[in-house]
């Protein structure tokens, strides 16, 4: 018997094109939103940051990320965040991280630092906190027409994927 995974539904998702994504705004990016687990990054003022198994994106031009999303047709969610004064630059929040480490560090860790959070262990928990605090302004989806929600997964799924990516290197 196959167990159906429940979805974390995204209310008010606007299906969009990459041309409608303003590169200079404060955005939480959910790449491969239709996969388990998805990958997250963050951008502000045209610069993108994310922690990966093979390193990190540290101030990459958002236009480069958009080009990859377009070329690979990656289902992506963009959570437009309220402009808040960051205590440090995004680069400062990513400085102490080199890459993800299975069972220790995920792509979520530096992003939790940006928002001074300790608790979220996965994306849906982070989104719950950001929605509760009123930090999310709007949500646009790219290549998201068949997207029905973030698939249910647990922390072990994250670390299993990180281990697989780490072993592949």
Domains in the chain: boundaries: 7-167
- Determine the average pLDDT of the residues in 129-142: 95
pLDDT of residue 126: 96
- Decide: 10 and 77 in contact? Cβ < 8 Å: yes
With a cut of 70, say whether residue 87 has pLDDT above it: no
Closest of 78, 83, 87, 76 to residue 134, by C-alpha: 83
- List Cβ neighbours of 32 (8 Å cut-off, separation of 6 or more): 38, 39, 74, 75, 76
Report how far apart, in Å, the C-alpha atoms of 35 and of each of 30, 32, 42, 148 are. Answer: 10, 5, 18, 12
Minimum mean pLDDT range among 3-17, 32-46, 70-84, 149-163: 3-17
- Decide: 146 and 53 in contact? Cβ < 8 Å: no
Minimum mean pLDDT range among 4-13, 28-37, 155-164: 4-13
Model confidence band, residue 164 (pLDDT cutoffs 50, 70, 90): confident
Which residue(s) pair with 61 in the sheet? 47
pLDDT of residue 167: 81
Prediction pTM value: 0.92
């Amino acid at each position: 018997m196959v167990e159906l995974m429940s979805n974390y539904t995204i209310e008010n998702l606007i299906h969009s094109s990459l041309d409608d994504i303003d590169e200079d705004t404060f955005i939480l990016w959910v790449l491969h939103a239709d996969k388990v687990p998805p990958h997250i990054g963050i951008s502000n003022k045209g610069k993108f940051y994310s922690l990966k198994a093979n390193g990190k994106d540290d101030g990459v031009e958002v236009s480069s990320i958009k080009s990859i999303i377009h070329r690979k047709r990656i289902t992506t969610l963009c959570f437009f965040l309220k402009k808040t004064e960051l205590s440090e630059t995004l680069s400062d929040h990513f400085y102490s991280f080199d890459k993800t480490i299975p069972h220790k560090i995920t792509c979520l860790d530096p992003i939790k630092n940006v928002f001074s959070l300790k608790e979220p262990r996965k994306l849906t928990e982070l989104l719950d906190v950001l929605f509760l605090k009123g930090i999310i302004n709007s949500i646009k989806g790219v290549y998201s027409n068949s997207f029905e929600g973030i698939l249910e997964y647990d922390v072990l799924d994250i670390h299993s994927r990180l281990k697989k990516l780490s072993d592949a290197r």
